[in-house]
């Protein structure tokens, strides 16, 4: 089970506990979310992740952040199985594969795109 899914399950359990509702009451998650007025944790995580990437991309002072984000390990051997998913893979998926690299498309905070957070999940 993925990390985001576990966070969602935990958040819903906390919301049910806050309202004093059990699973046996069979109240839909949408109704529980409406009553608590709490933002979905997956949306919040995706939004914060995208904001952090924008913050790192706008940095031009030579710190480690952009270097770590673009780093590709060179071990000399290929690992078995599917390659690990990196942060940049999600960002490339959302930003699209245009003619320019994704990290050159966000020069200022004002030009930062409104991203559909469900595409980040």
Binning pLDDT at 50, 70 and 90, where does residue 112 land?
very low
Q: Which of 3-12, 65-74, 84-93, 112-121 has the lowest mean pLDDT?
A: 112-121
pLDDT digits 0-9 by tens, 29-82:
999 999 999 999 988 888 888 888 888 877 778 777 777 777 777 777 777 888
Whether 42 and 4 have beta carbons less than 8 Å apart is answered as yes
- Is the pTM for the entire model greater than 0.85? no
| Length of the chain as a residue count | 121
Domain ranges of the chain: 3-36, 41-71+83-120
- Sole residue written with tokens 């959302």: 94
Q: What tokens were used for 23?
A: 């699973």
> Any idea what DSSP says for residue 38?
-
Whether 46 and 117 have beta carbons less than 8 Å apart is answered as yes
Phi-psi region of 59 (alpha: psi -120 to 50; beta: other; left: phi over 0): beta
Region 96-121 average pLDDT: 54
């Amino acid at each position: 089970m993925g990390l985001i899914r576990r966070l969602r399950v935990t958040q819903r359990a906390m919301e049910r506990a806050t309202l004093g509702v059990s699973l046996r009451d069979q109240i839909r998650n949408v109704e529980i979310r409406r009553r608590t007025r709490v933002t979905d944790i997956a949306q919040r995580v995706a939004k914060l992740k995208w904001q952090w990437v924008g913050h790192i991309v706008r940095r031009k002072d030579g710190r480690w952040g952009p270097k770590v984000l673009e780093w590709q390990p060179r071990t000399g051997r290929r690992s078995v199985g599917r390659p690990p998913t990196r942060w940049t893979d999600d960002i490339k998926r959302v930003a699209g594969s245009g003619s320019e690299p994704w990290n050159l498309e966000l020069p200022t905070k004002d030009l930062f795109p409104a991203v559909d957070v469900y595409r980040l999940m």
